[in-house]
A and B are shown apart, each in its own frame.
Chain A
Amino acid sequence: GQQVMQIPQYQHVQEGEDFTTYCNSSTTLSNIQWYKQRPGGHPVFLIQLVKSGEVKKQKRLTFQFGEAKKNSSLHITATQTTDVGTYFCAGEGGGTSYGKLTFGQGTILTVHP
Chain B
Amino acid sequence: SAVISQKPSRDICQRGTSLTIQCQVDSQVTMMFWYRQQPGQSLTLIATANQGSEATYESGFVIDKFPISRPNLTFSTLTVSNMSPEDSSIYLCSVGPEGIYGYTFGSGTRLTVV
Contact = CB atoms under 8 A, between A and B. Distances in A.
Interface of A: 1, 33, 35, 41-48, 88, 90, 92, 99-106
A99 B105 contact: no
A105 B42 contact: yes
B43 A1 contact: no
B42 A99 contact: no
Contacts of B45: 100-102
B103 A101 contact: yes
Given A99-B48, A100-B45, A48 B100 contact: yes
B59 A1 contact: yes
A104 B37 CA distance: 12
A103 B43 contact: yes
Interface residues of B, number: 23
B42 A45 contact: no
B25 interface: no
Contact of A33 (B33, B102, B106): B102
A90 to B, nearest CB: 8
B107 interface: yes
A45 B43 contact: no
Contact of A42 (B100, B102, B105): B105
